Amino acid sequence: MKKDMCTCAVHCTLNTYHESACCERGACDCWCHGEIKLYMDDERQTPEGWFRTHTVYQTIYWLQSRRVTHLSLDNDLGENREEGYRVIDWLEETVYNDKTFPIPVITIHSANASRVEYMKRAAQNIERIRQQQVGGS
């Protein structure tokens, strides 16, 4: 069985990545029901303990689950694909509009220096937004 597939026994309606559905009964202990570390990249090897996504769409899908605790982003995801900075833009807007949205620990591992700077600034801005939401300075 693939490492990134659910280990349940029947199809699960909660998630398109599942092969099964014992989840609805609470009998599932699959990786995808707990906290998730996301690694978005098109080429690099996925670190142990992380779940890999290949596209902006996949990454945002998992972020919407509100279970992502760590997020590591590449920017250049291959020809004809959206760039990774769009995830951080989405996250910034989402946090701004939803003060309860959990912010993962963000790491940028892209080789694209200009986008790394942009993404790091956006990550810092996300933290500033949250501080303002909770009454900080």
Tens of pLDDT, residues 38-72: 999 988 999 998 989 999 999 999 999 899 999 99
- Clarify whether residues 90 and 116 are in a common domain: yes
pLDDT band per the 50, 70, 90 thresholds, residue 134: confident
- How many residues are given for the chain? 137
66's CB contacts (< 8 A; 6+ apart) are 101, 102
- Clarify whether residues 12 and 45 are in a common domain: no
pLDDT at 31: 56
- Clarify whether residues 42 and 28 are in a common domain: no
Residue range(s) defining the domain that contains residue 126 = 35-133
- Clarify whether residues 125 and 64 are in a common domain: yes
Distance CA 96, CA 127 (A): 10
- Clarify whether residues 51 and 112 are in a common domain: yes
- Clarify whether residues 72 and 44 are in a common domain: yes
The answer to pTM > 0.85 is: no
- Clarify whether residues 92 and 28 are in a common domain: no
- Clarify whether residues 97 and 107 are in a common domain: yes
Report the CATH number that the domain containing residue 104 is assigned in CATH: 3.40.50
Domain count, the chain: 2
